[in-house]
Amino acid sequence: MSKSKKGFFDKFANWMTQFTGSSAAFISAVSIVLIWAISGPIFKYSETWQLVINTGTTIITFLMVFLIQKAQNKDGKAIQLKLNELIAATKGASNRMVSIEDLNEEELDKPHKFY
């Protein structure tokens, strides 16, 4: 699929995945926590002060779970396609291994025991 055909969410998810794995994102997160910690005495370590960081981190964690899962799904699919191509291109390789990831646990146990 060409980049121009990608949807907004795909573009956003790719950008966000790249950003959240960067040094800038880590430094930003540490800075936010430091600012929050330093502001403790100003707000007398109130319940509201604690609630701000708890709510913020909970929301970010909740959203990141879905973003990470999307990135892992994409990476997993790409890896499977690459492996399938290698199996298909290798003389003597068993084509039964192509798309083996679609098998259930019991079906996967049989080749696992064989190999």
**What's the per-residue H, E or C state across 92-111?**
CCCHHHCCHHHCCHHHHHHH
pLDDT at residue 3 greater than cutoff 60: no
Contact 113, 105 (CB under 8 A): no
- Report d(CA 64, CA 50) in Å as an integer: 21
Tens of pLDDT, residue by residue over 16-67, are 999 999 999 999 999 999 999 999 999 999 999 999 999 999 999 999 999 9
Give the pLDDT band (50/70/90) at residue 5.
Answer: low
Confidence (pTM): 0.72
Unique residue bearing structure tokens 């707000």: 43
Phi, psi of 34 (to 5 degrees): -65, -45
Domain ranges of the chain: 7-114
Q: What is the pLDDT of residue 60?
A: 96
Unique residue bearing structure tokens 């964690």: 61
- Report d(CA 41, CA 32) in Å as an integer: 16
Alpha-helical (H) ranges within 1-115 are: 8-20, 23-38, 47-89, 105-114
